[in-house]
Structures are given as C-alpha cells and as structure tokens.
Amino acid sequence: MTLISKHSMNLYSSIPQKSYSETPPSQNPTCQFLKRRTPLALCFQPPNTLQKSTLDHKLIISGKSELSGHVEISGSKNSALAILAGTICSYGISKLHRVPDLSDTRTMMGILRSLGARIEFLEGEMVVDTEGVCSVEPCSDLVGKIRAGFFVIGPLLARFGEAMVSLPGGCDIGARPIDLHIRGLRALGAIVELRHGKLHASVANGRGLVGGRFHLDYPSVGATETLMMAASLADGVTELSNVAQEPEVSDLAQFLIASGASVERAGRHTLIINGRKRLHATEFTIIPDRIEAGTFMAAAAITRSSISMSPVIPFHLADVINKLSAAGCRVTQKGPHILEVSAVPATIGDDLQGFGFRTYPHPGFPTDLQPQFMALLTTCNGSFTVQESVFEARMRHVEELQKLGARIRVGRNSATVYGKDQGSVLHGSHVVAPDLRSGASLVLAGMAAEGTTEISGAVYIDRGYENLELKLHCLGANIKREPVTSIENQILAAFI
Ligand code: UD1
C-alpha cells in the first residue's frame, strides 16, 4: 500500500532545520555502544520490542558505585507518546523537539506509519507528516506492545469518523481496563463495539463526534488524553470532569492548543474543550521526563553520591523532593531547570532515614517511581510501608529485589520494606527485569550492592530510559551491556 501523500515529498524542505538524511552515528568513543541501534528513520518494525525472541541484552553492574557530575534528562516518554497520537488530529507537518529515543517511541512511530503518516527522526528532533494518514486501522502487533498505542482511537475517530484499534499492551502491572476511554467516546456520540479482539468505533450520526459531558470516575491519564484529543475535533463544546492532573496531560493540552485547539481549564479538575473543524501542524518542545529525573535522584541517594541534572521542572517533582529531603538528602535548585541531589556521607548525618509512602495520581507520589524508591528504602534506616494505589499489581520487582538481599514483606498492593538496619543487605546476583520501572529499580539496587549484579530483560528498560547505562557510566557507575546468549534467552522467555 502506498501511504505517501502526493504533496509530501517536497514538504520537508519547507522546514528550515537540519537535514534529516542518514547522518552517520556519533564517532565519540564513549558513545560507541549507541551504534547497536538502527538509524531510526529507517525502521518500521521497532528493533527492541517485547517479543520474547528479542530479549537479547543484559546489564552487568559492579556495585558500590559512587556517582558524580551532571546528567541530561531526556524528553518525557509519556508526553511524547500522547503527542505523537495527537499529531493525527492535525493535517500537515509537525515538528517535535526533545523526543526521547526509546523503543516505545519507535513503536509509536510504527503505529503512525501503519496509518499512513511519514516520520523522520534524528537526535531528538521528529518531523511528523500526517497529511497522508489514510487508514483507520493501526498495526495490531504494534498497538499490542504499548499502552499509548490505543490512544490513537480518539484522534482517528474524530478525524475520520471511524477507528478499528486492537486492545493495548504495556507493562504487566494490573488489569489496566479501557472502560473510561470507551464510555467517554460514547458520551461524544460514538458507537464502540468489541469485535474479534478489536474495538470498532464509529460516529452514531454518520457525520462526526459531537461535544458532550463526561465525568471520569477515576482521573485516568490515558482516558483524559484520548477524550481531549477526540473532543478537540468534535462539533460543539465538551466538558470533561475529574480529569488527570499529570504534567504529561497538560503537555498534550499545550500541543493541541498550539495546533489550533481550544482547551481550557475550569477549576483544577475540569476541562472545557471547544471543538474545531480542523487542527493545523505545529512545532512543539516536549517537557523533561520527570520519571527519568526522579530515577536519577534516587540513584544519587542510593549510592550516597551527589549529582546534578537538567533540564527538569522541579514543580513536577515536588512530592519526590519532599520525600528525599525528609530522608536527609540535600536537594538544591541550582537554576530554573537544574537540580542537585546530594546524599554524600558528610552531609547526611548518621545515614538516610527511610520513609513510608503511598502512590497517588499527580500531584501525589508517582506510581512510576514506586519500584525505584522501594530499592532506595532497602538502604535506609528503619522499616516502612509502601502502598501502591494506582495499579492493582505493581509489586513484581519485590521478588527480584529479594534476590539481591532486600528484606521486604509483600502483600498485593503494599509492602513493608526493612532497611539496612533491619536486615536488608544488598549483594550482587542474577535478576530479571519484569517490567520497565522494576528494571530501573534493579539497576539502582545493583549500583548499591556489594559485588556484581546481572539484570536480564534490558529490553524493558529500553522502553522508557534513553541511554540509561551510558548516562550512568558517564556519572561514574560501573555498568555495561552485553548480549544475552540464546540459552539465557530461552530461560528468560520461560520466565517472562
Ligand atoms: C499512564 C502512563 C503510565 C503511568 C500511569 C499513571 C502513559 C503511556 N502511561 O498510564 O506510565 O503509570 O499513567 O500515572 O502515559 N483505569 C480504569 N479504566 C480506564 C483507564 C484506567 O480503570 O479506562 C485505571 C487503571 O486500571 C489504573 C488507573 O486507572 O488502575 C490509572 O491508569 P491510567 O491513569 O489510565 O494510566 P495509563 O494511561 O494506562
């Protein structure tokens, strides 16, 4: 199928930026391992996906690392994924800055390409041409890999009056239903039915979506995003109440506004969206990834080191900063977008004091940092309870942390973590990353442990961290990546 618009061949030249032809990879010796990745502009099928046969790397960490220096935080994964779905709402060529180079963003690129979009991606700059989008049925295999793949249902329905999208994938952290997306789309006049494992959505009046009112029973990030995109092209005004407050939701709203949409807040929890007939392409910079920043903050704390990071939006990390400060870390804002986190022994008194926490929707403690902070707690003093209230089964990292010597008693949604004075003594071992953020928690634990830790399933970590091992290596960690042998791959496939 030819999916390229007859206009699009010359349209790229209208953007006065660097050429998006095939530039050779960096020659910098410290970045050699980056060459393992295929140039992004060339791949349709993402090389790092969750197919068992591609679980081919492990991270090897020599523990007791001490970190120092500065790390650059990438653009937000979750923002980028939602905004990529949002480009379908507009016609023409959008330019996105600071798109992180992740297997999840590659999968999303594949999904858009399967609909007819043209995409070029080089060093964080992405050009997305949605003029030629001509299919309402994204590649099911790709949608099945990531949660955000499903978010295209709203834009497709709004733009074409029809969408056929298979059920989403994503990390195995609970049931992750999509009822709010479906009920919200129905409130905008859609007929949505599940047929043969795919959601078939169409507009009831045969013309287009119509504005409506919908109250989300839970402030779901994805449902808020799906409905915001759909309502931006609906006929009339939509009122969404109890919407998610996450910064990535606001970032998508800003992107849609930059594309000509009318999205306004009415109080903290309600959005009023005045539908437009058509949105136009735009240029937009994605916010820094607060989850990556939080992971590096935890890295400084767990290794009792001092590092700085930028760009960050400290306001997005308020609860995380409070917790680290209460534990005894010194968190200093060095500039509008620069944070320094110090936990060096000279500044933390006896040692870091543990803390209990519960995850909540934003502005509460982020569920996507729960595993990493649980790893940190195993090295602090005291015993504390961690409660997971966003996802129903997000404790798969516990078993792996236990293999590294952590003393944790786990229930379905909560865990009691015993610190280093209560029996947790981290030591190297062979562990498997069961999902993205759990993988990051094992990397942190491995850096604090005595001896060598091998973490299989690096493919999960690649979903959400751009060059994690290179960034940690540059901060002083002893970490390297190696291919997993075929026997190891088989064991891993059986495990996962
Ligand atoms: C997004 C993020 C994910 C983050 C999560 C919460 C992306 C791609 N992923 O996921 O990294 O951990 O927000 O901050 O942006 N729920 C329902 N019905 C629905 C939708 C959700 O019951 O229709 C429930 C879920 O099962 C879960 C809770 O709501 O228990 C939160 O999910 P949601 O906010 O939708 O998260 P995601 O958009 O999947």
Q: What's the rounded mean pLDDT across residues 288-301?
A: 98
pLDDT score, position 26? 31
Per the CATH hierarchy, to which homologous superfamily does domain 29-74+289-495 belong?
A: Enolpyruvate transferase domain (3.65.10.10)
Q: Same CATH topology for 29-74+289-495 and 76-285?
A: yes
Residue pair 235/209 in contact (Cβ under 8 Å)? The answer is yes
Q: What is the mean pLDDT of the chain?
A: 87
Ligand 1 pocket, residue 218 CB under 6 Å: yes
Ligand 1 pocket, residue 81 CB under 6 Å: yes
pLDDT score, position 207? 87
Ligand 1 pocket, residue 362 CB under 6 Å: no
Higher pLDDT, 403 or 10: 403
Measured CA to CA in angstroms, residue 153 lies from 60, 144, 147, 261, 407 at distances of 40, 13, 12, 18, 43
Among 3.50.50.60, 3.20.20.140, 2.60.260.20, 3.65.10.10, what is the CATH number of 76-285?
3.65.10.10
Q: Which of 76, 176, 367 should be mutated for ligand 1, with most atoms under 8 A from CB? A: 176
pLDDT, tens digit (0-9, with 9 covering 90-100), for 188-213:
999 999 998 899 999 988 889 999 99
Residue (of 287, 288, 309) closest to 298 by Cα position: 309
pLDDT score, position 171? 65
pLDDT score, position 37? 27
Neighbour-count burial for 425-458, b at 16+ CB within 10 Å, e otherwise:
ebebbbbbbbbbbbbbbbbbbbbbbeeebbbbbb
- Ligand 1 centre distance from Cα of residue 220 (Å): 5
Separation of alpha carbons 252 and 244, rounded Å? 12
Q: What is the pTM of this model?
A: 0.89
Q: Which of 31, 43, 139, 171 is catalytic?
A: 171
**Six-digit token pair at 47?**
């090389």
Q: How many CB atoms lie within 10 A of CB 4?
A: 14
Ligand 1 pocket, residue 224 CB under 6 Å: no
- Ligand 1 centre distance from Cα of residue 222 (Å): 6
- pLDDT tier at 31 (50, 70, 90 boundaries)? very low
Annotated active-site residue 171? The verdict is yes
Which residue's CA is the nearest one to ligand 1's atom 7?
Answer: 78
Domain ranges of the chain: 29-74+289-495, 76-285
Ligand 1 pocket, residue 179 CB under 6 Å: yes
**Six-digit token pair at 105?**
């963003």
Q: What's the rounded mean pLDDT across residues 461-471?
A: 96
Separation of alpha carbons 152 and 112, rounded Å? 9
Residues in the chain: 496
